[in-house]
Amino acid sequence: MADTPTPQPKGKFPSSIPYIIGNEAAERFNYYGLRAILTTFMVAQFYNPDGSTDPAIVQAAEATANAKTHDFVAMVYLLPMFGGMIADWFWGKYKTILWLSLVYAVGNIMVALSVSNEFMFTTSLMLIAIGAGGIKPCVSANVGDQFDESNKHLLPRAFDAFYASINFGSVLSILLIPYLKAKFGPTIAFGVPAIAMLVAVFFFWAGRNKYRRVPPPKFDQNKMVILLTAFGSLVASYIYFDKILHASIGSVLGAWAVAVIVLAFVFKKQWFAKPGNFVGINLYALTNGGFAAAAKEYGDEAIEGIRSVWRVLAVFAFIPVFWALWDQSQSEWVVQATKMDLDFLGITWQAEQISFVNAAFILAFIPLFSFVLYPALNKAGIQVTPLRKIGAGFVLTALSFVIIAIIQGWIDAGERPNISWQILAFVVLTAGEVLISITGLEYAYTQAPPSMKSTIMACWLITVTMGNLLVAVIQTNISNGGFFAQFHGADFFWLFTGICAVTALLFMAISPRIKEKSYVGG
């Protein structure tokens, strides 16, 4: 008797997905287009408008612009915690994406209209950070919300299209927007991404009647107070420290964190340490003789989950160094490219266009590593684990900066090396990105217990913030003539090469002691 064939799922592909994909492609076009020209624009427009070649003026101008860029990126990756709160506690994903996208679009329009006013320009960047950061934790989750049991087998196709739209939007904008800046000026160059963001909002709104919406829970006044306290203290510290004292975002976030913790203890301690949650259990263990005592109170399973979180956070402690180097490829490397021979493959490129090769190599390396390199290493007897991938990624990231430091040495000596050398550095950096960024996301999800997965993903985003803060603090110190001002030219890149090399060595020494336990499928 013949085997009965397994019935195939019959659910249809959600009609809402094309609207989400269109929204994402336009939004990513906007973000990466703005980011591509941000640093070089600020150097030329605000910090060295006379085009001085005096080394001290050039160093201070480039350091200030780079610091502002990293401050902006740091805020973009900090604010998802607020977007997540708003979506999960109050508005739901649809309203959060729609309304904060409008804030995002207003910020873009203001950027395009304030290219001659530094205060308005940087304030507009803050609006973009609120919008971009606010929708970041919602957009990919909204993709998943469109599926149910009948069509969940089609979810991988949706995410493939979603991430393809990200790369399509970023590559197109990185190639186009620098050309528009060179040909038509900054207002047009920033204006086109602003139009793209309006298109993104329209795409999302147009699908309003097709989305499956997961409603938020019943209104909770305590949660509203938490949100307003956290966000209000962040805005107040930003205005005071950044706009009045002209300090770095590091000072802003330091003041904000202290304010939130103090207010949490003063007004309602259970906000911060409700019994049974992560912080509460750790405080119990700290004050009652350790995790063995806590296990008697909360159970072995809960304590093992807490230990797993600490193991993940131990890995995450190293990741900010990767982002500190990677994000320089979108700012410091761009400034370096302006001093190089940009003729390559018969084309004279704009300095801001070169980073498009990162997205191109990402698309090539993901299948190459997954289907060729990793199987070959396993077959050769070299076990490929997430922590080994991350360790190798740190080594490659440091090597990419070795290339960049050598290039800068040639520039310091008065030479004009060809941009192909920087493209080589991008190849090495992108390989490191595949090994660290993609692996880190997988590690964060699989190693976190179910009750902490969302929190751990938020912690992953904060590693980007911390990495950019590190660079922003150093660049601010350089622009103010502080200790790090001695690291100019090639020495600046050698400094970060050393930081990454030391991080790689420490990670490879510590990671074998980190136990791995998967929390997937059970």
- Which residue in the block uniquely carries the two structure tokens 């800068």? 408
- Mean pLDDT computed over every residue of the chain: 85
Please state whether beta strands 343-344 and 347-348 pair in parallel, antiparallel, or not at all (unpaired): antiparallel
CB-count exposure of residue 305 (10 Å: 0-12, 13-18, 19+): buried
CATH topology of domain 318-522: Growth Hormone; Chain: A; (1.20.1250)
- Could you give the C-alpha distances from 250 to 92, 342, 477, 491, in angstroms and in order? 31, 35, 12, 23
The model's pTM is 0.85
* DSSP-assigned states of every residue in 53-103: --HHHHHHHHHHHHHHHHHHHHHHHHTHHHHHHHIIIIIHHHHHHHHHHHH
pLDDT digits (tens, 9 = 90+) for 356-382: 999 888 888 988 998 899 999 999 999
Q: What is the DSSP letter of 347?
A: E
Helix locations, 413-488, DSSP H: 420-433, 439-447, 453-479
CB 97 within 8 A of CB 139: yes
Residue 164 — very low, low, confident or very high, per pLDDT cuts 50/70/90?
confident
CATH topology of domain 14-210: Growth Hormone; Chain: A; (1.20.1250)
pLDDT digits (tens, 9 = 90+) for 401-452: 999 999 999 999 999 999 999 999 999 999 999 999 888 877 776 777 765 6
* Better-predicted residue by pLDDT, 286 or 185: 185
Q: What does the domain layout of the chain look like in residue ranges?
A: 14-210, 318-522
* DSSP-assigned states of every residue in 372-408: IIHHHHHHTT----HHHHHHHHHHHHHHHHHHHHHHH
pLDDT digits (tens, 9 = 90+) for 260-316: 655 555 544 444 445 566 667 777 787 788 888 888 888 887 788 788 888 888 999
| CA 201/CA 27 separation, integer angstroms | 8
Return the top range by mean pLDDT from 8-17, 35-44, 80-89, 91-100: 35-44
| CA 345/CA 347 separation, integer angstroms | 5
Residue type, 316: F
Residue type, 361: F
pLDDT at res. 304: 80
Confirm whether 14-210 and 318-522 share one CATH topology: yes
Residue 150 — very low, low, confident or very high, per pLDDT cuts 50/70/90?
confident
Residue 77 — very low, low, confident or very high, per pLDDT cuts 50/70/90?
confident
* Better-predicted residue by pLDDT, 18 or 3: 18
